[in-house]
A and B are shown apart, each in its own frame.
Chain A
Amino acid sequence: MVGFSMQPYGIQSMLKEGHRHLSGLDEAVLKNIEACKQLSQITRTSYGPNGMNKMVINHLDKLFVTNDAGTIVNELEVQHPAAKLLVLAAKAQQEEIGDGANLTISFAGELLQGAEELIRMGIHPSEIVTGYTKAINKTIELLEELLEEGSENMDVRNKDEVILRMRSAVASKQFGLEDILCPLIAEGCIQVCPKNPANFNVDNVRVAKLLGGGLLNCSIVQGMVLKSDAVGTIKKTEKAKVAVFVSGVDTTATETKGTVLIHSAEQLENYAKTEEAKVEELIKAVAESGAKVIVSGGSVGEMALHFCERYKLMVLKISSKFELRRFCRTTGAVAMLKLGQPNPDDLGHVDSVSVEEIGGARVTVVRNEEGGNSVSTVVLRGSTDSILDDLERAVDDGVNTYKAMCRDSRFVPGAAATEIELARRLKEFSFKETGLDQYAIAKFAESFEMIPNTLAENAGLNAMEIISSLYAEHASGNTKVGIDLEEGACKDVSIMNIWDLYVTKLFALKFAADAACTVLRVDQIIMAKPAGGPRRGQQPAGMDED
């Protein structure tokens, strides 16, 4: 009778075994804040150009060495529900803009830390939420005032202007290398920029990672780099027409299962002959249409290959559907379903196709410089896989920034100049508020100091000194003064040329404030028993033991 009659009072007794229920200020809100703070501590040290790298080993034992917050939190597999909210915000930022994930997490963490202090002072979380909401709305207004004049007009095809806007994003991932990487990325992006820049597709800038060499060997290819060899013996063609076939280059087959019906020996002989004749006919038709290169989306039959060689056709095999589509975009070809004589309109054009050996790997370089401005590839060289991965992430960020600037080219001063100015103006705003939320607004303003603080700390500078001198400069009207991390002094950003994109900042701050408010709004957590399945995250057989 035990358990049935001695029902404990409350929710706990009513739930299935294994459920956990956390409620109230201490148990839920403060715990949540604590978890989020922990998470932001992790990413914070990676913030900015001098940020430290993290070594993350995920559950598949893959090693990541990066300071890209998006990757770090992705691989961390955060379990705590509240911290997960922050991760989700960072992911949203990553999807929306492709950069600024670290800002989102660090800022949200800072906001929550501020909220914790306020809660300890006795302010109810709901008041903090209203205060923070007011503050973020004001921040958005203020941010617009801080826009650099004239930045809304930009020529997205002007390399210098693109680099100007891209630099800070790339520099925060690969400090010191931005002067090499930015021109590469910018060139790649500009090449594929369509007539209407708003339709810029990130997918059109490809990255090919090839082990070996060094950063200085990185280059840009107008066209594609396929990581495979040509199928036949012809390895190089120039100024050729291309025919693309989605299905394999082989004999045709029926959907229904077919059986060859043979009664006599001649028939057998004839069958093989007709088969051969048929394939030859098909290949011949392709060759006669003027095509010199055949691209197959499926298998390439032995017999077909033989005839291709005979008719001097170069054969490429691209098995990925998406890669094939990109190839079509590069060459302007229309993919045909069945092997046969292509229409002249369906043929594409390449300037050159050649198999090259770079760093021990055979790659096929497809170049299309004339008019084919649809796909470009950044060839990255580096000595290890993890360096290449990290470079790729920097390139991704750069390309995403390009996409963002195509839509909205406005920018604000970087190097923490904007943040200090926001902090200053928001503080003034908080003095004008009458309700309890003024404390929350003031905290929100203070949270902005986290950014110069972290930048300075990561660069090994004295953060307090820097912040106070920044405030002093800004108070005297120099609103564009930021930190020069190399000299450890405050300088006008227009001299240093550090600008951040407005949209990146806007979305990052909004997502951060949103996530922080959501965490604060929760006052009860009900956790189900974790589902079964193999336990992950078991200690991988002792790192230091062997």
Chain B
Amino acid sequence: MSIRVLNPNAEVLNKSAALHMNINAAKGLQDVLKTNLGPTGTIKMLVGGAGDIKLTKDGNTLLKEMQIQNPTAIMIARTAVAQDDTSGDGTTTTVLFIGELMKQSERYIDEGMHPRVLVDGFEIAKRAVLQFLEKFKTPVVIGNEPDKEILKMVARTTLRTKLYESLADQLTDIVANAVICIRKPEEPIDLFMVEIMHMRHKFDVDTQLIEGLVLDHGSRHPDMKRRAENCHILTCNVSLEYEKSEINAGFFYSSAEQREAMVAAERRSVDERVQKIIDLKNKVCAGNDNNFVIINQKGIDPPSLDLLARAGIIALRRAKRRNMERLVLACGGEAVNSVDDLTEDSLGWAGLVYEHVLGEDKYTFVENVKHPHSCTILIKGPNDHTIAQIKDAVRDGLRAVKNTIEDESVVLGAGAFEVAARQYLVNDVKKTVQGRAQLGVQAFADALLIVPKTLAENSGLDTQDVIISLTGEHDNGNVVGLNQHTGEAIDPQMEGIFDNYSVKRQIINSGPVIASQLLLVDEAIRAGRNMRKPT
């Protein structure tokens, strides 16, 4: 072999060996993720290097944590991760679809077909399915007041595949309300405006949506109030602590009085800044029993805290930068960077500010705000792995709702789309294709069936029965999906099972591309010294 001449240490796989390696890897990965799909999928337990536990059903998390080494598998995993980046869901489906495309192709290749012809077929089928998807999708009118019901249905469909049913149903409301809360008309939705905070406390079903903000730290002074109502909120980024001068300075004094004077002078500039805030407080809170809260991104040192506490101000220091942005959205007002020209207009408002202590950790709740454009999903759970699981699910749920609003359409779920697309390919498209590329279309069509097939398999149903009854119904013109409990056909529209349009589109787009690339590989070369451990 020519490569051997160039580099005697290189490892080469050619022709069918390379192809089979790819196919095997794709199938292997498919096998692992298969059991994850759908509401009846099972949970995987990942044990990290340090013995930490993670429980997940989410394909994306799984692929990230698994530390895959096989090159083909890495390629597929990357596509799946890309899928997650663009649409937030559908990772498992992507991997399954690619695996199935490879599996179907294997059959034809073993019969002597050239991969190139199959790839041509894939391309035709892909384009046809994308067109079909445009026709098949159900448009949703979003407008100014989005239809909450449909958003909830989409969120529920996603969440149920990640968590168990009762918890998923509860999160559905939370997720839908959160997105509606942060949505501003005419502006793209920024999901970062939903703060996701977690507390190790109580049970997973105690997770709640807070219209306001939860900060994961408390005031650092024992004499500050723990609970205050009707609060003016000052969001600022001003250092209220003594800072050493940049240049190397020193004091020279020759008596204790002089030194005392130095000590006082040293603090004066900080004290002045604090005084300005106290003045503002006295101005806005004079004559009423409103409270005043400062949330500062920079530090506040103990003497300043003491001054503020004496003035009856609640001060929080070292808030996270992202929270500063959210605070302004939630409470109103603006973030100030200097205390020189403080006005009442820069203050925000919250009806209730209180501190919650949990063991050693303190949390500050800012609630009852007027027009929240930012909110917090407070995840609770008895242990870290539950919290992590919910966190991943919430993220996916939020993405699903956002996608719906942006796509202005949804797709029928429960395998209905896949079966419909397959029937369309087999009955209509295939006939218009000339020559052997037909087989590529056929392979693509059959590969689509992996979704309903796996759903059925995970529910302990007979795959063949299910596929036959579903395709039968579709041929009769009924668009049906799979009922996981009974194995019968149902109308997803009635059951409220909807998938995201963009998720499906992304799957159809990326799956065949990567599968084609893998099929067209005819030589795999491993060279270089660091590829393998010295033996």
Contact A252 B252 (CB under 8 A): no
Contact A328 B222 (CB under 8 A): yes
Tell me which residues across on chain A come within 8 A of B260, comparing CB atoms.
252, 278
User: In the complex, what distance in Å separates the CA atom of A518 from the CA atom of B31?
Assistant: 22
Contact B244 A256 (CB under 8 A): yes
Contact B254 A7 (CB under 8 A): no
Tell me which residues across on chain B come within 8 A of A277, comparing CB atoms.
256
A236 at the interface (CB under 8 A from B): no
Contact B302 A261 (CB under 8 A): no
Tell me which residues across on chain A come within 8 A of B203, comparing CB atoms.
510, 514
Contact A256 B249 (CB under 8 A): yes
Tell me which residues across on chain A come within 8 A of B28, comparing CB atoms.
9-11, 13-14
* CB proximity to B under 8 Å, residues A502-546: 510-511, 514, 518, 521-531
What's the minimum C-beta distance from B50 to chain A, rounded to whole angstroms?
5
Tell me which residues across on chain A come within 8 A of B31, comparing CB atoms.
10-11
Contact A260 B383 (CB under 8 A): no
B266 at the interface (CB under 8 A from A): yes
What's the minimum C-beta distance from A151 to chain B, rounded to whole angstroms?
23
B382 at the interface (CB under 8 A from A): yes
Binds A, one of B39-47, B137-145, B189-197: B39-47
Contact A9-B24, Cβ < 8 Å, known A92-B383, A522-B42, A530-B51: yes
Tell me which residues across on chain B come within 8 A of A1, comparing CB atoms.
11-12
Contact A521 B42 (CB under 8 A): yes
Contact A85-B53, Cβ < 8 Å, known A15-B66, A510-B203: yes
Contact A528-B43, Cβ < 8 Å, known A14-B28, A260-B253: no
User: In the complex, what distance in Å separates the CA atom of A331 from the CA atom of B359?
Assistant: 24
A299 at the interface (CB under 8 A from B): no
A306 at the interface (CB under 8 A from B): no
**B interface size (C-beta, 8 A):** 70
Of A5, A19, A259, A263, the contact of B67 (CB 8 Å cutoff): A19
A431 at the interface (CB under 8 A from B): no
Contact A5 B253 (CB under 8 A): no
What's the minimum C-beta distance from A448 to chain B, rounded to whole angstroms?
21
Contact B256 A274 (CB under 8 A): yes
User: In the complex, what distance in Å separates the CA atom of A96 from the CA atom of B263?
Assistant: 47
A251 at the interface (CB under 8 A from B): yes
Interface string of A327-339 (1 = CB under 8 A from B): 0100000110110
What's the minimum C-beta distance from A345 to chain B, rounded to whole angstroms?
10
* CB proximity to B under 8 Å, residues A56-107: 79, 81-82, 84-85, 88-89, 91-92, 95-96
What's the minimum C-beta distance from A355 to chain B, rounded to whole angstroms?
26
Residue of A nearest to B531 (CB): A4
Which size bracket describes the interface of A in this complex? 35 or more
Tell me which residues across on chain A come within 8 A of B302, comparing CB atoms.
246, 337
Contact B257 A274 (CB under 8 A): yes
A320 at the interface (CB under 8 A from B): no
A-B pair number, CB within 8 angstroms: 186
B385 at the interface (CB under 8 A from A): yes
Residue of B nearest to A338 (CB): B303
Interface string of B459-487 (1 = CB under 8 A from A): 01000000000000000000000000000
* CB proximity to B under 8 Å, residues A256-276: 256-263, 267, 270-271, 274-275
User: In the complex, what distance in Å separates the CA atom of A252 from the CA atom of B266?
Assistant: 12
Contact A274-B255, Cβ < 8 Å, known A19-B67, A337-B306, A522-B55: yes
Contact A81 B255 (CB under 8 A): no
User: In the complex, what distance in Å separates the CA atom of A141 from the CA atom of B73?
Assistant: 49
Contact A7-B251, Cβ < 8 Å, known A254-B259, A277-B256, A337-B306: no
Contact B263 A91 (CB under 8 A): no
Of B50, B51, B222, B245, the contact of A256 (CB 8 Å cutoff): B245
Contact A88 B382 (CB under 8 A): yes
User: In the complex, what distance in Å separates the CA atom of A447 from the CA atom of B203?
Assistant: 22
Contact B70 A14 (CB under 8 A): yes
What's the minimum C-beta distance from A101 to chain B, rounded to whole angstroms?
12
Max chain B C-beta neighbours (<10 A), residue from A5, A263, A337, A511: A5
What's the minimum C-beta distance from B80 to chain A, rounded to whole angstroms?
14
Interface string of B7-21 (1 = CB under 8 A from A): 000011100010001
Residue of A nearest to B27 (CB): A9
A255 at the interface (CB under 8 A from B): yes
User: In the complex, what distance in Å separates the CA atom of A10 from the CA atom of B74?
Assistant: 14
Tell me which residues across on chain A come within 8 A of B266, comparing CB atoms.
254-256
Tell me which residues across on chain B come within 8 A of A335, comparing CB atoms.
222
**A–B pairs, 17, beta carbons within 8 Å:** A4-B11, A4-B526, A5-B17, A7-B70, A11-B32, A14-B66, A14-B73, A16-B69, A88-B383, A126-B40, A256-B266, A257-B251, A258-B262, A260-B254, A271-B254, A277-B256, A518-B43
Instruction: With A525-B47, A531-B48 given, name 13 new contacts (CB 8 A).
Output: A1-B11, A11-B32, A15-B67, A16-B68, A88-B53, A256-B250, A259-B252, A270-B255, A518-B43, A518-B386, A522-B42, A522-B44, A526-B65
